């Protein structure tokens, strides 16, 4: 038990992305439950309080979920991290980090992460259909869809970037060990496949 806590805390503080092969602590995967809490408050909050209270609680839960998925669970469960860097000239640059491909991701953790990431957006879009004519409630749904879609786009692009980098690195090693025409063709073809 202590070794998992130590490895988790040291990995969170390090700059390099990582993945571990054992399933993670239940509290890391339980952080994914914030999504369900936001949906629950949205659906049943009208019975317990006024709209402003429901709005504040939902937005706080959604913001916490966005931050947690972006900065903690994505890194722990699938070994990916993304952020948007604003350059001095005002342009945005998407930055991606990924785990070392020699350190595999636990498939259960990965399935939990990707399923909850995509399913949450589908649920909020489904809920948007029911509140099209209630602008105040649609505001909560719009915030939820925006925050969840930002993570979906960020992690999908990060995953593509990681696969492209791994393929390019693999192809470069193959071309380095076989500097002939076959190695260069293999390198060019594999790199193009992931673009």
Structural domain containing residue 119? 2-162
End-to-end CA distance of the chain: give it in Å, rounded: 41
**What per-residue confidence (pLDDT) applies to 144?**
97
Is residue 192 assigned to a domain? Answer: no
**What per-residue confidence (pLDDT) applies to 105?**
84
Is residue 155 assigned to a domain? Answer: yes
pLDDT by position in tens, the chain (length 195): 333 332 333 333 343 444 444 555 566 666 667 889 999 999 998 887 789 999 999 999 999 999 999 998 898 889 999 998 999 999 999 899 988 877 888 888 889 899 999 999 999 999 999 998 888 899 999 999 999 999 999 999 999 998 888 777 655 565 555 555 555 555 555 555 445
Q: What is the pTM of this model?
A: 0.72
**What per-residue confidence (pLDDT) applies to 102?**
77
Is residue 61 assigned to a domain? Answer: yes
- Token couple for 100: 């070392």
Is residue 193 assigned to a domain? Answer: no
**What per-residue confidence (pLDDT) applies to 30?**
65
**What per-residue confidence (pLDDT) applies to 163?**
86
Is residue 185 assigned to a domain? Answer: no
Is residue 98 assigned to a domain? Answer: yes
Task: For residue 75, give the nearest of 28, 22, 122 by alpha carbon.
Answer: 28
Write the DSSP string, 58-90.
HHHHHHHHHHHIIIIIIIIIISEEEEEEE-TTS
Sign of the CA dihedral with 143 first, then 147, 148, and 152 last: positive
Which DSSP category does 100 fall into?
-
Residue position matching structure tokens 């722990």: 76
Is residue 181 assigned to a domain? Answer: no
* Number of domains the chain is built from: 1
Is residue 135 assigned to a domain? Answer: yes
Strand intervals (E) in the chain: 80-86, 92-98
């Amino acid at each position: 038990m202590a070794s998992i806590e130590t490895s988790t805390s040291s990995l969170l503080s390090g700059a390099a992305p990582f993945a571990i092969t054992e399933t993670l602590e239940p509290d890391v995967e339980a952080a994914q439950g914030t999504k369900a809490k936001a949906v629950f408050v949205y659906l049943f909050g009208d019975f317990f309080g006024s709209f402003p209270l429901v709005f504040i609680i939902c937005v706080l839960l959604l913001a916490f979920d966005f931050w947690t998925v972006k900065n903690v669970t994505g890194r722990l469960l699938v070994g990916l991290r993304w952020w948007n860097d604003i350059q001095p000239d005002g342009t945005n640059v998407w930055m991606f980090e990924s785990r070392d491909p020699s350190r595999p991701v636990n498939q259960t953790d990965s399935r939990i992460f990707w399923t909850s990431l995509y399913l949450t957006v589908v649920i909020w879009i489904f809920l948007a259909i029911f509140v099209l004519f209630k602008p105040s409630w649609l505001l909560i749904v719009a915030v939820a869809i925006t925050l969840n879609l930002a993570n979906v786009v960020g992690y999908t692009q990060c995953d593509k970037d990681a696969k492209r980098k791994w393929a390019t690195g693999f192809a470069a090693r193959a071309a380095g060990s076989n500097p002939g025409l076959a190695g260069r063709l293999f390198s060019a073809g594999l790199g193009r496949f992931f673009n």
